[in-house]
Amino acid sequence: MIIELREFTRVEGNGKAEIVIEDNEVKDVRLKIVEGPRFFELLTLGRHYYDVPDLEARICAICYLSHSVASVLGIERAFGVEVPEEIALLRELGLVGELIESHTLHLYLLVAPDVFGYPDAIRMATKHGELVKEAITIKAFGNRIRELIGGREIHGINVKPGGFGRYPTVEELERVEKESEALLRLAKRAVRLFASLEPYGAQAKHFVATDGYLWGEKIISDEEGAFDYTERIEERSLVYSFAKQSLYKGETFFVGSLARLLLKSEMLTPEAKRLFEEHREKLATGYVSYNNLAQAIELVYALEKANEIAKTLLDRGIEGENVPVEPKEGEGIGYVEAPRGVLIHHYRTDSDGKIAYSNIITPTALNHAMMEVSLLEEARKLYGEVDEQAMIHCLEETVRAFDPCISCSVHLVKL
């Protein structure tokens, strides 16, 4: 017998699952990514590097800036371009804005309705209007930062190899500084809300993140040392899904907020660090559902960080100068922490600066196998214990905890 979960709601993109029951036992779970393939690597092959980040941004709307930055980093590394601190700080500010926008969407508008027992945030607003209003305010702030750095709320083209099209003004940065401080209080309330929930889903055994907090030169795991993804991460195709699955040294692993906190807590901002320490024991159990709590703590981090970066930039002043980019034959990997985990853009370029090889692995693809394992464990616990509808509801919550971004996951290629 097969129990079908209809297409997931309150997640980005189109996916569903099947639970295979044999002899009254849960035998298997298949997570089916039914979103059509999008062939992004094929799209960029042969393209001039200048246009590539704008195209790659379109992989995902929720985290377009992570894709722009990862793409730019991959290209710059292939050409041996290094950017000064100012440009690095502005990119970081953009990623911080994206974290704010994305985490708020996920926590308040997609997950909170489960917590309060509503089908969606709009209906939740009738009783919890304040919370929905808070969400809208924080989210709009995150988007304003994305617009400032990326050029548009969605799919901006302002982030370029070597710098930006347009640099922010002093007034714009002052506004970021002021608003981030004002919103911090709201984010702390979110931490209290998500800390109160019972854990569900599987416990992750391995965690992977970039070696810097929001991007890195390499990736790290809970085991020894920094490494390139090609060394320990393998992908495989499935017949029942448009997304591939990745394994870390042959085992499932987790990327995302929980992984970042557990592997890099020493890089957190003061208040976020304090909150992490307060909840460390809980988070260290590795239950995937604690990714929600981890995101709430990261929301505090992101608001503190936005404030800190704005202050730093205001103190040192903005020069607004791009670094010259000379195309050459090369190879580069951009590692970025998208809001939902490690994002990899790997390119080889030819001497004209055209893309000769491209491989992109998104966080949802990296988490795909872990999601499936989590559903299997959850289904085994619940099958026969609760009625089918209740089980399906819990399984949907488990998928949601990964904050999957299904659209991004469906175009992986090795050429």
**Where on the chain is the footprint of other proteins (CB under 8 A)?**
7-14, 34-43, 46-48, 51, 54-55, 58-62, 64, 105, 109, 113, 119-123, 136, 139-140, 143, 151-158, 160, 164-166, 237, 239-242, 244, 396, 405, 407-408, 411-413, 415
Q: How far is the CB of 307 from other proteins (least distance, A)?
A: 22
8 A C-beta contact, residue 31 and residue 17? yes
Choose between 267 and 413: whose C-beta lies nearer to other proteins. 413
Q: How far is the CB of 66 from other proteins (least distance, A)?
A: 13
Q: How far is the CB of 43 from other proteins (least distance, A)?
A: 5
Q: How far is the CB of 366 from other proteins (least distance, A)?
A: 17
Q: How far apart are CA 117 and CA 134, in angstroms?
A: 19
How many CB atoms within 10 Å of residue 362? Answer: 34
Largest CA distance in the chain: 69
Three-class secondary structure of residue 198 per DSSP: coil
**In this structure, are strands 330-338 and 233-238 parallel, antiparallel, or unpaired?**
unpaired
H/E segment holding residue 361: strand 355-361
CB-based burial of residue 408 (10 Å sphere; 0-12 exposed, 13-18 middle, 19+ buried)?
buried
Choose between 124 and 220: whose C-beta lies nearer to other proteins. 124
Q: How far is the CB of 57 from other proteins (least distance, A)?
A: 9
Is 405 annotated in a binding site? The answer is: yes
Is 394 annotated in a binding site? The answer is: no
The CA distances from residue 386 to 112, 389, 393, 394, in Å, are 22, 8, 11, 10
Beta bridge partners of 32: 16
Q: How far apart are CA 283 and CA 322, in angstroms?
A: 41
Three-class secondary structure of residue 151 per DSSP: coil
Choose between 158 and 221: whose C-beta lies nearer to other proteins. 158
Two tokens at 329?
């034959």
Two tokens at 260?
């970042």
Choose between 139 and 279: whose C-beta lies nearer to other proteins. 139
Q: How far is the CB of 21 from other proteins (least distance, A)?
A: 22
Choose between 114 and 304: whose C-beta lies nearer to other proteins. 114
Q: How far is the CB of 320 from other proteins (least distance, A)?
A: 11
H/E segment holding residue 77: helix 64-79
Q: How far is the CB of 160 from other proteins (least distance, A)?
A: 7
Give me the helix-helix angle, 257-264 and 290-316, nearest 10°: 70
Choose between 78 and 110: whose C-beta lies nearer to other proteins. 110
Q: How far apart are CA 231 and CA 40, in angstroms?
A: 23
Is 41 annotated in a binding site? The answer is: yes
Choose between 97 and 216: whose C-beta lies nearer to other proteins. 97
Work out whether the CA dihedral 281, 283, 284, 288 comes out positive or negative.
Answer: positive
Choose between 21 and 34: whose C-beta lies nearer to other proteins. 34
Q: How far is the CB of 86 from other proteins (least distance, A)?
A: 17
C-alpha angle 273/314/169, rounded to 5°? Answer: 120
Rounded-to-10 torsion of CA 267, 268, 270, 273: -110
Nearest to 1 by CA among 379, 381, 399, 400: 379
Known binding positions for Ni(2+):
60, 63, 405
| Binding region for Fe cation | 63, 408
Residues within the annotated binding site? 41, 60, 63, 360, 405, 408, 411
| Residues making up the binding site for Mg(2+) | 41, 360, 411
